[in-house]
Amino acid sequence: MLTVYSDDHRLQDGKAELVDGKLQPCFEMPRRADMVLDRVKTVGLGEVVEPKNFGKEPILRVHAENFVTFLETAWDEWSALGRSHDALPLNWSVRGMQNREPEVIDGKLSYFSFDAGTPVTAGTWRAATASVNVALTGLEAVLGGARSAFSLCRPPGHHAAAEYYGGYCFLNNAAIAAQAWRDRGAGRVAILDVDYHHGNGTQSIFYERADVFFTSIHGDPRQEFPYFLGYAEETGSGPGEGANANFPLRWGSGFDLWSEALDQACKAITAQGADALVISLGVDTFKEDPISQFRLESEDYFRIGERIAKLGLPTLFVMEGGYAVEAIGINAVNVLTAFEQ
Ligand code: SP5
Ligand code: ZN
């Protein structure tokens, strides 16, 4: 399987996120991608290539223009105030308050984000756009006839919606690739999100559409970030009714429960008649993940790859989360090698 990778991921290297009431070193760090690339090379998964540049157009098919402009200019506006440390928001609009974009950068950070875990840095825009290019270059390989490709995206994307960032995500790599796949002729795209956290951004982007089916297995939002999306009752709306399927699982769930949900998600993908598949590949379901509460073991990731392969669809794997850094490469690449068997 081809891997697409860019060193530009290093440009996103936030110092700290707010977690458990303290500023702590970012869990989402450059070493994550290094570990996955190392493992790709160790097992000889296949060729590793650099991304091509697709520009802003495919991004604007998914994200709002004012949001993209904000991401592109946020660091300049922040540093113009004499600040050289990372930018984090401090408060948000909630029920009954205005939804207006403020004029000043501190207000804009609040307006366009949903958490204080996702620092905007000097290199954020370049890293996030490189990550999109990694996803789109993987798609090119599949459009060129490959059965699958692995886009080793970093920063991740599935929490980013049309008009907001958060959850370590700025631009939604998987959603942009799914949209590009539709634009390049796929009839119906399925997105299977196996990251521990609900892919709220991806769900919201496609929620009212029938042409992209979104299904996700994740920590129950009653207990787990992002808390405000990911319930089983969310099945899509309008023309998208029936084109969204969530499988929330309680803290402590192991592969017995998880694999049952995977089987249901896969059956739904087949029933939907998808002809293209994007996998949001997070491996923070691992038992040793420092911020997550599922109990998957490294061997289980082989079973995931096998089950996905049984769908028989052209498949683009897009890297999302996973914070047990020493194991992230093993777990992610286990999915990929088993898929190829
Ligand atoms: C892409 C992705 O996996 N993003 C995840 C973002 C999660 N951010 C919230 C982390 C909250 C951690 N709370 C548990 C801390 C354990 N002490
Ligand atoms: Zn995650």
63 is catalytic: no
For residue 281, tell me if it sits in a domain. yes
pLDDT at residue 87, rounded to an integer: 98
Atom of ligand 1 nearest to the CA of 166: 6
Paired strand residues for 19: 22
The ligand 1 site (C-beta within 6 Å) comprises 19-20, 117, 156, 159, 167-169, 195, 197, 225, 282, 284, 291, 320-321
Band the pLDDT of 124: cuts 50, 70, 90. Answer: very high
Which is nearest to 151 in space by CA: 1, 41, 283? Answer: 1
- Residue 333, φ and ψ in degrees, nearest 5: -75, -25
For residue 116, tell me if it sits in a domain. no
For residue 177, tell me if it sits in a domain. yes
Residues 6+ apart with CB under 8 A from 72: 125
For residue 98, tell me if it sits in a domain. no
- Residue 193, φ and ψ in degrees, nearest 5: -105, 110
Ion ligand 2: residues, CB within 5 A, are 195-197, 282, 284, 321
Helix (H) or strand (E) run with residue 277 in it: strand 276-281
For residue 148, tell me if it sits in a domain. yes
Q: What is the mean pLDDT of residues 170-181?
A: 99
For residue 160, tell me if it sits in a domain. yes
Spatial contact of 254 and 294, defined as CB atoms under 8 Å apart: yes
Nearest CA owner, ligand 1 atom 5: 167
Which is nearest to 84 in space by CA: 37, 124, 121? Answer: 121
Centre of ligand 1 to C-alpha 147, Å, is 32
Nearest CA owner, ligand 1 atom 14: 291
74 alpha carbon, distance to own chain's centre: 21
Nearest CA owner, ligand 1 atom 7: 167
Each residue's pLDDT tens digit, 238-289: 999 999 999 999 999 999 999 999 999 999 999 999 999 999 999 999 999 9
How many structural domains does the chain have?
A: 1
Which is nearest to 71 in space by CA: 117, 107, 108? Answer: 108
Helix (H) or strand (E) run with residue 124 in it: helix 124-143
Band the pLDDT of 198: cuts 50, 70, 90. Answer: very high
Residue 273: which domain range?
2-63+121-340
Q: Is ipTM strictly over 0.90?
A: yes
pLDDT at residue 186, rounded to an integer: 98
Q: What pTM value is reported for the model?
A: 0.98
Centre of ligand 1 to C-alpha 225, Å, is 7
Which is nearest to 337 in space by CA: 311, 317, 314, 320? Answer: 317
Atom of ligand 1 nearest to the CA of 196: 3
For residue 112, tell me if it sits in a domain. no
Nearest CA owner, ligand 1 atom 4: 167
The C-alpha atoms of residue 20 and residue 30 are separated, in whole angstroms, by: 22
Catalytic residue, chosen from 63, 159, 198, 218, is: 159
Residues 6+ apart with CB under 8 A from 254: 294, 295, 296
Each residue's pLDDT tens digit, 26-41: 999 999 999 999 999 9
Nearest CA owner, ligand 1 atom 15: 291
pLDDT at residue 17, rounded to an integer: 97
Atom of ligand 1 nearest to the CA of 197: 3
Each residue's pLDDT tens digit, 88-99: 999 999 999 999
Ligand 1 site-directed mutation target among 12, 23, 26, 197, most atoms within 8 Å of CB: 197
CATH number of the domain where residue 300 is located: 3.40.800.20
For residue 71, tell me if it sits in a domain. no
Spatial contact of 269 and 213, defined as CB atoms under 8 Å apart: yes
